[in-house]
Amino acid sequence: MQKKCLVIKQEVKNALAHGQAVVALESTIISHGMPHPQNIETARLLEKTVRDNGGTPATIAVLDGVIRVGLSDDELELLGTAKNIHKASRRDLPSVIALKQHAATTVSATMICAHRAGIKFFATGGIGGVHRGASETFDISADLPEFVHTPVLVVCAGAKAILDIPLTMEYLETLGIPVLGYQTDEMPAFYYRSSGVKVPQRVDDPSQAADIFHQALQLGYPGGILVGNPVPENAALPREKIEGCINQALTEASKNGISGQAVTPFLLGKLNDITAGDSLKTNIELVKNNARVCTQIAVAFARLSV
Ligand code: PSU
Ligand code: MN
């Protein structure tokens, strides 16, 4: 018999069985998105934020080929320190499981694992998207098409500003993915609050987002919903300054021939160096804010379903 490839932590199982709010958290941000020790501190802070808002956190990763939904503190530590952690998006899940590897899951893979576990809500930092220069490189994150297939509501602070936000929004429109602006009319730009690109729908409180997701499920939509939640004002970086730093990081990436799944971790790391840690501070604040709002939406949804 095949060994079980999905293990759900007991606490998460209990919460799901009682129809309580459960919020998935990803692990790529821990293993490839932030330096040590801030990565592990952030992972713990996010779990605490979910709990403080009345939810149960479920951080997701693949360990020794088993999808773990809900991690122990030792497992978070391993993901934040070990060097042999793969970065798994949708395409990589079968191989990291079959070959019994360790992998951090990106947004697309975390959505798949969350859905298999029965979790409908997931908070991340910035969604992957269409990269600048994609007309040459074809670099478009697998995060975007995942929303066509997998019914999970994801709260992000917009597309990472290292991306092409107008093209990312066009792509989401083509795929027919509902995108909501949380207390904003614009898609947030990760490090700063407004990108200048309109979202198709604004919501002003968690219950509106919960209602829209509930409606999509009732209509039999097979896919998910993306919520853009702007970074808190006091943590946002000045647009002009960070744009200069992003251009510098992009130049370094092309000089070094960085491609494929290494691009995003490289750019985030470079930006952290260039801004002397300011981009990391902002990143931590925005994902914490996303965990808070996502949990509030999950709590509102749980009320709808009783
Ligand atoms: N947001 C962050 N930091 C990250 C990521 C998102 O604040 O590290 C990760 C997510 O896991 C996302 C991935 O799914 O980057 C996208 O990678 P790519 O561009 O290679 O698809
Ligand atoms: Mn890519």
Question: What is residue 306's predicted lDDT score, i.e. its pLDDT?
Answer: 60
The domain tally of the chain equals: 1
Q: H or E segment at 91?
A: none
| CA 3–ligand 2 middle distance (angstroms) | 32
92 lines ligand 1 (CB under 6 A): no
Which one of the listed residues 9, 26, 146, 270 is annotated catalytic? Answer: 26
Task: Please give the chain's pLDDT, 306 residues, in tens.
Answer: 467 899 999 999 999 999 999 999 999 999 999 999 999 999 999 999 999 999 999 999 999 999 999 999 999 999 999 999 999 999 999 999 999 999 999 999 999 999 999 999 999 999 999 998 998 889 999 999 999 999 999 999 998 878 999 999 999 999 999 999 999 999 999 999 999 999 999 999 999 999 999 999 999 999 999 999 999 999 999 999 999 999 999 999 999 999 999 999 999 999 999 999 999 999 999 999 999 999 999 999 999 976
Give just the sign of the alpha carbon dihedral 130, 239, 47, 78: positive
| CA 204–ligand 2 middle distance (angstroms) | 32
Question: What is residue 161's predicted lDDT score, i.e. its pLDDT?
Answer: 76
Of the candidates 173, 200, 199, the one whose C-alpha atom is nearest the C-alpha of residue 186 is 199
Number of the ligand closest to the Cα of 139: 2
> Reduced to 3 states, what is the DSSP secondary structure of residue 200?
coil
The token pair that represents 291 in the structure block: 């965990």
Q: Which atom of ligand 1 is nearest to the CA of 104?
A: 11
- d(CA 193, CA 206) in angstroms, rounded, equals 19
Q: Any catalytic annotation for residue 160? A: yes
144 lines ligand 1 (CB under 6 A): no
Question: What is residue 2's predicted lDDT score, i.e. its pLDDT?
Answer: 61
Please tell me the residue having the least CA distance from ligand 1 atom 20.
261
Q: Domain span at residue 176?
A: 3-304
158 lines ligand 1 (CB under 6 A): no
Domain CATH number, residue 14: 3.40.1790.10
Which one of the listed residues 9, 87, 160, 270 is annotated catalytic? Answer: 160
pTM for the model stands at 0.97
Q: Which atom of ligand 1 is nearest to the CA of 143?
A: 14
